[in-house]
Amino acid sequence: MLIIFKKGYTEEQLNHAIDRVRAAKCEPHVIHGVYKVTINVIGDDTQLDPEDFKKLEGVEDVISVSKPFPLVAREFKKEDTIIQVRNVTFGPDNFIVMAGPCAVESEEQTIRIAKAVQKAGANVLRGGAFKPRSSPYAFQGLGNEGLKILATARKETGLPIITEALDIRDLDAICEFTDIIQIGTRNMSNFPLLKEVGRTRTPVMLKRGMSATIDEWLMAAEYILRGGNTNVMLCERGIRSFDSKYTRNIVDLSAIPVIKNLSHLPIVIDPSHGTGRKDAIEPMTLASLAAGAHSVMIDVHDDAENALCDGAQALKPHDFEKIMACLHSLAPALGKTIPGAKPSVRNTV
Ligand code: PEP
Ligand code: MN
C-alpha cells in the first residue's frame, strides 16, 4: 500500500500516518520523491484499511499496489516518466539514439568517434571506462582516465555521456564526469550497487540481467527508486536462450510493450549487445522504434577490426549514418521525434 501526501502536508500529519502503520506491525518507508512524499507500507498490510488512511489530514490518495515493485509500477504513476539529461529528453514522444564505442581506448579514438556519431545525428555518446570483461586478461578499460576522456568528448561535442559503473567506489567520479550511469547486465542483481545508485540523482540506465525475468528486472529498478532516484530507464540487451549459434543473445522486443504496460519507466533497446552481429543492428533498431521503445544504444567504432572490446558487433560510422537516415524517415509515421538534424546520407528503407 502506498500513502501519498498532498503538497503542503505537515510533519505532524506524516508522523500520525507513520504511527498508524507501525501500530499494525508494518514498516513505513517514507520516500521523498521528486513528485510526491509517499509512505510505502512494507509487510502484511491486510489489516490496514485504505479508506481509513484516505480520510487522514494531509493524505492525497492511497493506492493498493499488487506488484512487488510498487514504485516502478504503472499502478503507482500513470504518466510516463520523462528523464531530462542535459538538452536531451527521454520520454514517450521522442526516440533517442545513443551511440559510440564499446570502450574508451584513448582520447583521440573517443573524440574522433564522438564527432562521427554526432555528425550522423546521435543524441548521446556511449563509452565504457570500466569494462566488465568475462576474462580477467581482457582489456579492463581506462578507469578514471577514461572518465576524463569522456568529459573532454562532452566538452568538444556537447553530447551527454552514458558510461557503466561497476563499483560503488567509482560512483562519485562517474556522476562528476558523465551524465547517465549504466548498470550492466552482470550487475543487475548487485543490490548494494543499486542501492548506492539510488542515493544519487544522476539518471540511470538499468540493463536487464542476461537471465533475468521481467519481474526480477523491475524489482532491481525498484531498489534504485526506493533510494529516491526516480530517473531510471530500463534497457533490454538480449537474454540467454538455448540457441546462441547465430546471435549472441535473443533480443526480447516483446519486453517493450510488456514493460510499457507494467511500468512508467522509459525502455531502451541495445541491439548491439543483444545480437552481437552487425547485420542485425539495423533491423532490430527499426523494429525497436516501431515497437514503441524510447531509445536505442548502438556500438559504433571507426576501426572496429582493431577495437579493444566488442569490435565484431560495432558499426562503421557510415553504416550508423544510414540507420539514422532510416530512423528519421520512419519516426514521423510513428508519431515520434528524433531530436537533432537528419543526416544527409541516402535513405535505404
Ligand atoms: C556494454 O554496454 O558495454 C556492456 C558491457 O553491455 P552488457 O552489460 O549488456 O553486456
Ligand atoms: Mn560491449
What CATH number is attached to the domain comprising 127?
3.20.20.70
Give phi and psi for 304, each to the nearest 5. -55, -30
CA dihedral 262, 265, 267, 268 (to 10 degrees): -160
Q: Is residue 261 part of a domain?
A: yes
Residues in CB range of 65: below 8 A, 6 or more apart: 1, 2, 73, 75, 76
Ligand nearest the Cα of residue 207 is 1
Q: According to the model, what pLDDT value does residue 200 have?
A: 96
C-alpha grid cell, residue 180: 547517465
| Mean pLDDT of the residues in the chain | 95
Query: Both 152 and 49 in a single domain?
Result: no
**Closest among 105, 123, 106, 125 to 114, alpha carbons compared:** 125
**Closest among 29, 25, 34 to 3, alpha carbons compared:** 29
Buried b or exposed e, range 220-250, using 16+ CB within 10 angstroms: bbbbbbbbebbbbbbbbbbbeeeeeeebbbe
C-alpha grid cell, residue 126: 556511449
Q: Residue 34 pLDDT > 70, yes or no?
A: no
Q: Is residue 339 part of a domain?
A: no
Q: Using alpha carbons only, what angle is made at residue 168 by residues 167 and 170, rounded to the nearest 5 degrees?
A: 75
Mean pLDDT of all residues in 201-220: 98
Q: Is residue 77 part of a domain?
A: no
CA 102 to ligand 1 center in whole angstroms:
8
Q: Ligand 1: which atom is nearest the Cα of residue 274?
A: 9
Residues in CB range of 344: below 8 A, 6 or more apart: none
Q: According to the model, what pLDDT value does residue 347 have?
A: 54
Ligand nearest the Cα of residue 131 is 1
Q: Residue 44 pLDDT > 90, yes or no?
A: no
> Which residue owns the Cα nearest ligand 1 atom 6?
184
CA 133 to ligand 2 center in whole angstroms:
9
Q: According to the model, what pLDDT value does residue 42 have?
A: 85
Count of CB atoms situated within 10 Å of the CB of 75:
17
Q: According to the model, what pLDDT value does residue 348 have?
A: 53
CA 126 to ligand 2 center in whole angstroms:
10
Number of folded domains in the chain? 2
Q: Ligand 1: which atom is nearest the Cα of residue 310?
A: 3
Q: According to the model, what pLDDT value does residue 23 have?
A: 94
Provide the domain limits for residue 56.
2-63
Q: Ligand 1: which atom is nearest the Cα of residue 131?
A: 5
Q: According to the model, what pLDDT value does residue 43 have?
A: 85
Query: Both 108 and 177 in a single domain?
Result: yes
Reported as a pLDDT band with limits 50, 70 and 90, residue 13 is very high
Q: Is residue 344 part of a domain?
A: no
Ligand nearest the Cα of residue 132 is 1
Query: Both 102 and 31 in a single domain?
Result: no
Mean pLDDT of all residues in 306-329: 96
Collapsing DSSP to helix, strand or coil, 186 comes out as helix
CA 283 to ligand 2 center in whole angstroms:
19
Q: Residue 246 pLDDT > 90, yes or no?
A: yes
Query: Both 139 and 237 in a single domain?
Result: yes
Bridge partners (DSSP) listed for residue 97? 296
Residues in CB range of 94: below 8 A, 6 or more apart: 294, 336, 337, 338, 339
Query: Both 88 and 26 in a single domain?
Result: no
**Closest among 178, 179, 285 to 236, alpha carbons compared:** 285
